[in-house]
Amino acid sequence: MNHHPDPVVTTAQGAVRGLRQGDTTAFLNIPYAAPPRGAGRFAPPRPHEPWDGVRDATAPGPNAPQSERKLGSVDMSPYFGTGWSRGEDYLTVNVWTPEVGGDLPVMVFVHGGGFVAGSTRSALYDGSAFARDGVVLVTLNYRLGIAGFLDIPGAPANRGLLDVVAALGWVRENIAAFGGDPQNVTLFGQSAGATVVGGVLAAPAAAGLFRRAIVQSGSGLGAFTTEQAARVTRAAAEVLGIEPQVDAFADISDDRLVEAASRLAGIDLHTGTHHDPLIGLSPFSLVLDTQPAESVAAGLGADIDLLIGTNTEEGHLYLVPVGKYATSTAGDVDDAAARSHPQPARLVETYRKARPEASFGELRSAIMGDALFGAGSWALAGAHAGRPASATYAYEFAWRSHALDGELGATHAVELPFVFDVAHLPQLHGSAALLGPDKPPADLAARMHETWVRFARTGNPGWDPYDDERRATMRIDAEWTQVDDPRSQERQAWR
């Protein structure tokens, strides 16, 4: 019998020993940047010190400082993970590979969590199925909350995004040793992670580091202006009792930063020229005076193939688990529109006309979902489709979870178990779990996962490209149906 010892791979910083499981090997907790400590938490990522000997890469490592996230009555722990696993050396990647020494497509995943939570330790982000199907899968931790995204005078903006770019640099330098092709890298992310991917698409510093991108329920219009960000910074400094300057923040412990971040909800970010792109749900986002969709329209990321989509009932996650969906009123619908759009009455009228049978809960959810993800995804898709050097593909994930008495629906994050082909995990099933009590269609995970792999390998997921005339979109459910220009009336309202 042939006993393979656990494989050792040599990276530019030192050797790492992974854990072989059947035909795949996982390497966990490999640093891609120096530990962000003290003032370094507010500096650009720096290279990690080399190490001597072989570093053990068989156990999960620490993650970014964060508080535990709860979303009402739905169990989101497979998504958020179990909170903060402490340790300063958390700017790390996990790598799953079928063979050390191939030339395989590489996929690099950026987790979501509202810019304040999430982790490579989350059960949903197990890369084994990707490795099984001939992909080298990389997941990464990045700075979150105040350390990652607060815009502080004297510190570079969007430090969490700079971390993702640094991880892509690590991939470019090291992934061949794990069997990956550094010339065929697909960057993908979900929610805040997808908004970061849109930001990286528009970041000149990332040019040449990846070839394709997948944006799952993100937004190309999700960034705060510097004026909006400054309000959050003043509020954070006030909570901490310090001056809003980088050296004052550098003296504050991670625990206090995490605690302060959790007290920043509800800041009014309306300005004379801009509404709050996150409609009050998070005080952290990218900070850019030009939205990623506008930068892409101007030509950034023009050579990157893009797969982009949203879920049919994104907004349900913010209403159903907290008991606000069924109790929604006409006033709640108007309020959602007022937070989202310069002409709220016209917006509500458009949605009513498009959905004559809809309940107040459905209208409220649809407006929230489009304010957060739909409008910003349509804008990014349209901007990118105007560039002839690469292809744009759109999807809509429509399979409904029957969790929470059948109400959770095709909500935010429900596509992830299918993309990672982990829909069988027991913690995803049950009346209060993400996928609900019913079994999903037998081949949905296999097909969806295979489609993402196919896009990473070839740049074509298997349906017609999106352009601004037809807006071809694959609607993914028990059956897959290509539709042209879904939701055209509602889409128009955001132009």
Task: Kindly report the three-state secondary structure assignment for every residue of the chain.
Answer: CCCCCCCEEECCCCEEECEEECCEEEEEEEECCCCCCHHHHHCCCCCCCCCCCEEECCCCCCCCCCCCCCECCEECHHHHCCCCCCCCCCCEEEEEECCCCCCEEEEEEECCCCCCCCCCCCHHHCCHHHHHCCCEEEEECCCCHHHHHCCCCCCCCCHHHHHHHHHHHHHHHHHHHHCEEEEEEEEEEECHHHHHHHHHHCCHHHCCCCCEEEEECCCCCCCECHHHHHHHHHHHHHHHCCCCCHHHHHCCCHHHHHHHHCCCCCCCCCCCCCCCCCCCCCCCCCECCCCHHHHHHCCCCCCCEEEEEEECCHHHHHCHHHCCCCCCCHHHHHHHHHHHCCCHHHHHHHHHHHCCCCCHHHHHHHHHHHHHHHHHHHHHHHHHHCCCCCCEEEEEECCCECHHHHCCECCCCCCHHHHCCCCCCHHHCCCCECCCCCCCCCCHHHHHHHHHHHHHHHCCCCCCCCCCCCCEEEEECCCEEEEECCCHHHHHCCC
Nearest to 107 by CA among 35, 166, 167, 59: 167
**Residue 191 known to be catalytic:** yes
Contact 147, 257 (CB under 8 A): yes
Q: What is the pLDDT of residue 99?
A: 76
Between the alpha carbon of residue 382 and those of residues 95, 338, 341, 485, the distances in Å are: 33, 25, 19, 12
Cβ atoms of 152 and 245 within 8 Å: the answer is: yes
Confirm whether 49 is a catalytic residue.
no
Look at the alpha carbons of 201, 132, 443, 430 in this order and tell me if their dihedral is positive or negative: negative
> Which tokens is 394 given?
């759109």
Nearest to 302 by CA among 211, 432, 185: 211
CA distance 279 to 271: 13
The CATH number corresponding to 8-244+247-492 among 1.10.1740.10, 3.40.605.10, 3.40.50.970, 3.40.50.1820 equals 3.40.50.1820
What is the reported pLDDT for 4?
Answer: 59
Task: Say which of 412, 429, 449, 490 is annotated catalytic.
Answer: 412
- Whole-number pLDDT of residue 1: 39
Specify the pLDDT at position 5: 74
68 is catalytic: no
Q: pLDDT by residue for the chain (495 residues), tens digit each?
A: 344 578 999 999 999 999 999 889 999 999 999 999 999 999 999 999 999 999 999 999 999 999 998 899 999 999 999 899 999 999 999 999 997 678 999 999 999 999 999 999 999 999 999 999 999 999 999 999 999 999 999 999 999 999 999 999 999 999 999 999 999 999 999 999 999 999 999 999 999 999 999 999 999 999 999 999 999 999 999 999 999 999 999 999 999 999 999 999 889 999 999 999 999 999 999 999 999 999 999 999 999 999 999 999 999 999 999 999 999 999 999 999 999 999 999 999 999 999 999 999 999 999 999 999 999 999 999 999 998 889 999 999 999 999 999 999 999 999 999 999 999 999 999 999 999 999 999 999 999 999 999 999 999 999 999 998 999 999 999 999 999 999 999 999 998
Catalytic residue among 119, 122, 128, 191: 191
Q: 359 φ, ψ to 5°?
A: -75, 165
Catalytic position from the list 294, 313, 314, 396: 314
Q: What is the pLDDT of residue 6?
A: 83
